[in-house]
A and B are shown apart, each in its own frame.
Chain A
């Protein structure tokens, strides 16, 4: 635990990527495999089911620190992190533990779930007495989850690749899918030869970058393929060893949630991996994303939901065929094989993501204007010669989204942020005018620069008219331009509309609050085809 806490502190102390990777490498070189496996598990954002609620930890910490509940709440407000506030409150102890990370997780953390309340409390308090401030914070983090330390899976991958002297792609692939944090896994992760890999394992997704300028900068149109940018769930459908696996982009196995795609998978030849988008699809075409949302998160789907909101896989890439990894071959080849495969499968639930023909960038600019009517987010531009890369690599895949809907709205409520932004007011609610009143239309976390955040924070503190718990009502004065991906009618919202992916585009210091948009203006932007 001491070494892992030191690693955590080292990662936390620097903003420099190279230093983070060095710290990780140093840790993985010396850590016993059992500890290394758990370290990878937590650092890549995985977490066991929460054993003890954060509220309980807080209450126990308050008890032993002799701090009343209301004051605990104030402390939490100032810190913004449940695990940290507990570590800061309890009496500091000297580190006396010699138990490693795996020992702490397997013999101290995991058994907590099965314990009764008072036994849990005893176990937690005993742990706190053995750990110093940094270790205690890490321990609390392990319990409460949300272990974010400014380390991405990519950095962990880089460090492991260095330790194993293997290409990063190999490590990235080994980290995909479900695995158990065992010493054997840690050994396999850095083993020279991967051998037979797990049948379920998906490939790391290749992610596109946002194209901010004009596509002309990309060069010859003939070197590029254009497709619509679908508004669904990115996923991989895999058929191997007589089994079907459907993975979402968050590396979650979602096969059971989409039985129609599981059935589709069963029709694929063995040794196939498709990359595509799960889309809600009625006979007439795509349904709005809001419909798909009704299926996301449902572990089991009833007959009615299946009939009302069926889904298809809009396939755009073929990563594996007949057990061969096709990723190194150019997109043009992969696409040709995909186009040959789809008619063989001959199932309406598998659709090819159509290639949008264009001769010039000007043509494509015109075609892109159809995006909203087609209920897509814009276009994808993919270099025909590109291999299927790992992660967000710049250059070969671009998303060229349509301009977002924009609205000028007034800041009306504010709340403090969390983590790095605990103490600053960064969570805003915005309103637009309706009959002389401002009705809330969107909540957005700040999309502002640090300097702007401080300015707005100072404004909020000086211009609070009312407070409701952590929420401050602010004098309606600051105007911001908000961007949305979509706007739909919603009886659940006070304004009668719901916004999709609202974010702050910029501060409109030039605009007085009275000239902000009206609800009427916003209604005019309603997404076509949205249910009303």
Chain B
């Protein structure tokens, strides 16, 4: 579909530029869309990423990695391929990778969302011939409410718990979702505490200059500390662990796009599911794809077959981009959801 991109055992490869995008095996040169573990993997000799994500990249992959950073919109040329990075709106430093070679332009969007997020730059559509899109929520049932509506719900829940002398524990992916939650809630309701894993990433966010309300690590308090009334932000893996006991009595919630479906919500057996996602919803995907003006669309992650078929029926030249994770990402399980969110 394009000579600019090719799938290999190590991941998505740009043959003329001789570099990989989000490779899952160590390579010589890796261009990274964002610092989530399924995109930024350790072991490559040299990395290229967007400047706002530098602290996150070093936090995740090591302080001493060989990392070159580009500001959004800035470009470099690698073996005749012009590479530039553009905001993807997914998490801090997330970038769409624009490749231009002999007049042909391809954009690899990585993970993205199109709605504004105070913790990262907003998605900007980039004109191209070939667009590689994600489709984590590539079904029309996935439509998000505005951030204001979602956080009004979170605040109501937190306030009601505070008044009932309960701790509010919200499970959110440690990189991105957690910071979006702390930036979005009404911090005047009570103190905000962070799980250790969330704390580490939040420090990197602050070091990157992102404005966030005051938070404290849970570990900073004594064993006897009374958490009632406060909001605790923890990664989903903390659910059901003995660590949770110190927050009794508590109400728990999960912030994830998967919470849109009642069955997924119920399977979690949590008190609440807030439909808060860092991925584009169905209208967002269609809008973004249209805005690139691309005739060729390659779909990866999630409901790939569905989105590609829908686009084909609407006259696009669309296909599924097979990736390493295809079998699983095709129909994400609850555990899979954590990996991609």
Contact = CB atoms under 8 A, between A and B. Distances in A.
B141 A79 contact: yes
B31 to A, nearest CB: 30
Contact of B261 (A88, A150, A457): A88
B188 to A, nearest CB: 25
A80 B310 contact: no
A78 B264 CA distance: 10
A454 interface: yes
B140 A457 contact: no
Contact of B333 (A14, A70, A75, A458): A458
A84 B260 CA distance: 10
Interface string B247-269: 00000000000001111101101
A454 B335 contact: yes
Interface string B319-341: 00000000110110111000000
A419 interface: yes
Contacts of B143: 88, 92
B313 interface: yes
Most buried by B among A13, A14, A80, A419: A13
B261 A74 contact: no
Nearest to B157: A13
B333 A67 contact: no
B306 interface: yes
Contacts of B306: 71, 74
Interface in B120-153: 139-141, 143, 145
Nearest to B263: A422
Contacts of A89: 140-141
A212 to B, nearest CB: 25
Contacts of A457: 333
B263 A88 contact: no
A462 interface: yes
A92 B145 CA distance: 9
A420 B140 CA distance: 20
Nearest to B145: A92
The A contact surface, by secondary structure, is helix
A461 interface: yes
Contacts, number: 76
Interface string B183-214: 00000000000000000000000000000000
Contact of B140 (A14, A71, A454, A461): A71
Nearest to B262: A84
A420 B269 CA distance: 10
Nearest to B306: A74
Nearest to B269: A15
A424 interface: yes
A450 to B, nearest CB: 8
B316 interface: no
A88 B139 CA distance: 11
B313 A68 contact: yes
B303 interface: yes
A78 B141 contact: yes
Contacts of B66: none
A79 B267 CA distance: 13
A81 B327 contact: no
B333 A424 contact: yes
Contacts of A458: 328, 333
B271 interface: yes
A462 B333 CA distance: 12
A75 B140 contact: yes
Given A420-B266, A420-B267, A454-B335, A461 B328 contact: yes
B41 interface: no
Nearest to A75: B141
Contacts of A68: 310, 313
A75 B303 CA distance: 10
A452 B301 CA distance: 25
A527 interface: no
A79 B261 contact: yes
B60 interface: no
Interface string B271-314: 11000000000000000000000000000000100100110010
23 contacts: A12-B262, A13-B272, A14-B271, A65-B140, A68-B310, A68-B313, A75-B139, A75-B140, A75-B141, A78-B139, A84-B261, A88-B143, A88-B261, A89-B140, A419-B263, A420-B263, A421-B263, A421-B267, A422-B263, A454-B334, A454-B335, A461-B331, A462-B328
Interface of B: 139-141, 143, 145, 260-264, 266-267, 269, 271-272, 303, 306, 309-310, 313, 327-328, 330-331, 333-335
Interface of A: 12-15, 65, 67-68, 70-71, 74-75, 78-81, 84-85, 88-89, 92, 137, 150, 419-424, 450, 454, 457-458, 461-462
Given A80-B263, A150-B266, 5 more contacts: A75-B139, A81-B263, A92-B145, A419-B263, A454-B335
